[in-house]
Amino acid sequence: MYYFKKYHKTLSIIFIITVLSLVNTARIKPDNLPIIPHFDKIVHFLMYFTLGFIFMFEYYIHHHKTIKRISKILILPLIYGGLMEILQYSITPYRSGDWWDMLANSCGIFSAFVAVAFFRNNTFLRKWMLFPLKQPMFKA
């Protein structure tokens, strides 16, 4: 329960990525989607950028660690990304693990690290991560 309270945003994103990674996408017709080359790699990059950013920023806020210390926890989202690719390959007959997807995942995580290093002292992000909407956004 301790980790869920501190890392509820990160755990929610992990749940969403897990479901999206293991769901059958055979019903999605390519004719309905815009034609963008390597669109799935862009999606992988954005999913893991979001995961990495939220995880590292939550870690920074809760533990007040230096950016050098935060770099050591990069291994956790990288392991998770690799595990998702292995699970796609091994337990789903309709999905396949791909090295290029893993590269897109890794690029997203490392880009998130750069963003956290850049934004770590941003007061708006700190307030959003620590105290999300404790006051009503609009007064009635």
Q: Are 51 and 83 in contact (CB under 8 A)?
A: no
Q: What mean pLDDT is predicted for residues 13-17? A: 91
Cα-only R_g, the chain: 17
For residue 137, name the pLDDT band (cuts at 50, 70, 90).
very low
Reply yes or no on whether the pLDDT at 14 is more than 70: yes
For residue 58, name the pLDDT band (cuts at 50, 70, 90).
confident
For residue 56, name the pLDDT band (cuts at 50, 70, 90).
confident
Reply yes or no on whether the pLDDT at 74 is more than 90: no
For the chain, the structural domain boundaries read 2-23+36-130
For residue 129, name the pLDDT band (cuts at 50, 70, 90).
low
Reply yes or no on whether the pLDDT at 133 is more than 50: no
Q: Are 48 and 112 in contact (CB under 8 A)?
A: yes
Question: Nearest Cα to 96, choosing from 31, 42, 24, 12?
Answer: 24
